[in-house]
Amino acid sequence: MSRWPVVVEAVHATTLGALVGIVALDPFAGMRRARDWSGWLTGQQRLDRVMSRVAPALFLSATAAAAGATVVAISDHRAVLAVGRAVATGCTAAAIAVTLVVNEPSNARIRGWRPSDPPPEGWQAVRARWNQGHRSRRVLVAAAAGASLGGSVAARRLGTGSPTRRR
């Protein structure tokens, strides 16, 4: 029997776990907590420099791995598991959409600002919009993890949880 189902499941679990760790658990929130203009901007720009390199690959790989795990579960006739993986795929894809529609336009504006300059008019609205987008992403990533885990638990209870066991 092919090892691909096991590999696909492992990649799905790893990438989704990394996404949860970086986005949903938000360990870098402290960098954005300063209330003053220059403190907040410095932290936000520092975080953007790192995440603009890491996040695209992580979001895309987590979405692709969830989609692959969905296909594997469907081909193995594990419908309950496939539903969990499909919901995880949809949630991570929706998080990408939020990033592109809300967070990235805000980041583009923020990149042009300098902490030493006076705050531009409306900077607090940009900050609030970015934070709302990020809260939405956190919820979507957590929902993806919950759906994936829920699908796994339900499939195991039904005796169809193992990637190498065909029903």
Structural domain contains residue 26 = yes
Structural domain contains residue 61 = yes
Structural domain contains residue 167 = no
Structural domain contains residue 99 = yes
Total domain count, the chain:
1
The upper half-sphere exposure of residue 96, i.e. CA atoms within 13 Å in the direction of its Cβ, equals 16
Structural domain contains residue 43 = yes
Please give the model's pTM, rounded to 2 decimal places. 0.92
Would you give per-residue pLDDT tens digits along the chain (167 residues)? 589 999 999 999 999 999 999 999 999 999 899 989 999 999 999 999 999 999 999 999 999 999 999 999 999 999 999 999 999 999 999 999 999 999 999 999 999 999 999 999 999 999 999 999 999 999 999 999 999 999 999 999 998 766 554 44
Say how far residue 74 (Cα) sits from the centre of its chain: 23
Q: State the residue range of the domain holding 127.
A: 4-157
Structural domain contains residue 163 = no
Phi, psi of 77 (to 5 degrees): 60, 40
Structural domain contains residue 164 = no
**Cα 70 to Cα 83: distance, rounded to the nearest angstrom:** 7
Structural domain contains residue 28 = yes
